[in-house]
Copies of this chain bind each other. A is one copy, B any other.
């Protein structure tokens, strides 16, 4: 396993046509991404319409990702279901299919019950029983749950929990976690709007929806920072924020897919209930892309 994840990973979209998965388009997208400096791919992250895809389809997607990805790209699968039992079953099935690590969001349907002890029990049981390493996933926008900082620190010493993707966008959270866990624990930001300050605060890398649409810019920002060129990194960060906000907050996955279509990848429609962007949204996306070209 390439446990030393760093740099930029793309949280891939899942291609559909008439509500069905189009595997070949998925593979073609990945082959194009192979030519970029991306470090790897997340299949069935939040950008991948994960809760829209059943277990069998998930397996097909991971197999295709592994087949299409070049050898140097890590494949991480989003495998979180609401019970530990189901999550373990799905994770091990996707490990067989080629996933090298599992990105696992917290259970969130019974959120009033998801206190420290419940979340600890869930992640511990899952990490104990799955065959690939676990990456914790904090995404309060969708789950209404913040993984408690103390819990992340406690879980970071589990031998099979190797990192955290944090999509809430809090650098206070980042700073406290990074300063309290061992250096091997990988902190990855999930927000393309704070990549630069997250690296400055100690993040190892990022898993980004934005890296679907403008992978080159995300990688360049990372490299500028690595090269110590903060001034240019900050400027590039400023430049991508408006597009990133449009794609991830204001308009969501339908807009990401539209942007992919514009950029020469396959975007296509989402599954219902995510509806196509209207012309006003499309115009906004075109404008932001042109400004970045």
Write the residues of chain A forming the contact surface with B, with a CB cutoff of 8 angstroms: 19-20, 46, 49-55, 81-86, 89, 107, 109-114, 117-119, 121-122, 125, 141-142, 144, 149, 169-172, 175-176, 178-179, 191, 193-194, 196-198, 200-202, 230, 234, 237-239, 241-242, 244-245, 249, 252-253, 271-275
B118 with A84: CB separation less than 8 A: no
Q: With contacts A237-B175, A274-B118 known, is A111 near B142, CB below 8 A? A: yes
Q: List 25 A-B contacts (CB under 8 A).
A: A46-B109, A51-B81, A51-B107, A51-B109, A52-B86, A54-B86, A83-B273, A84-B273, A110-B273, A113-B252, A114-B273, A121-B272, A169-B170, A169-B171, A171-B193, A171-B194, A172-B191, A176-B241, A179-B241, A196-B201, A197-B200, A197-B201, A200-B234, A201-B237, A202-B234
- A149 vs chain B, min Cβ distance (A): 8
Q: In the complex, which residues of chain B have a beta carbon less than 8 angstroms from the beta carbon of A201?
A: 196-197, 234, 237
- Which residue of B107, B176, B200 is within 8 Å of A273 (Cβ)? B107
Q: In the complex, which residues of chain B have a beta carbon less than 8 angstroms from the beta carbon of A54?
A: 55, 81, 86, 89
Q: In the complex, which residues of chain B have a beta carbon less than 8 angstroms from the beta carbon of A273?
A: 83-84, 107, 110, 113-114, 118-119, 121-122
5 smallest A-B Cβ distances: which pairs? Answer: A52-B83, A172-B193, A51-B82, A122-B273, A179-B238
Q: In the complex, which residues of chain B have a beta carbon less than 8 angstroms from the beta carbon of A238?
A: 175-176, 178-179
Q: In the complex, which residues of chain B have a beta carbon less than 8 angstroms from the beta carbon of A52?
A: 81-83, 85-86
Nearest-neighbor residue (CB-CB) of A54 within chain B: B86
Q: In the complex, which residues of chain B have a beta carbon less than 8 angstroms from the beta carbon of A110?
A: 142, 252-253, 273-274
B141 with A112: CB separation less than 8 A: yes
Q: In the complex, which residues of chain B have a beta carbon less than 8 angstroms from the beta carbon of A193?
A: 171-172, 175-176
Q: A172-B245, A197-B197, A201-B234 are in contact. List 6 more A-B contacts (CB 8 A).
A: A52-B82, A107-B273, A114-B273, A172-B191, A197-B200, A200-B234
Nearest-neighbor residue (CB-CB) of A194 within chain B: B171
- Which residue of B89, B109, B169 is within 8 Å of A172 (Cβ)? B169
CA distance in complex: A264, B52 (Å) = 39
Q: In the complex, which residues of chain B have a beta carbon less than 8 angstroms from the beta carbon of A169?
A: 170-172
Q: In the complex, which residues of chain B have a beta carbon less than 8 angstroms from the beta carbon of A241?
A: 172, 175-176, 179
A55 with B53: CB separation less than 8 A: no
- A215 vs chain B, min Cβ distance (A): 19
Q: In the complex, which residues of chain B have a beta carbon less than 8 angstroms from the beta carbon of A176?
A: 193, 238, 241-242, 245
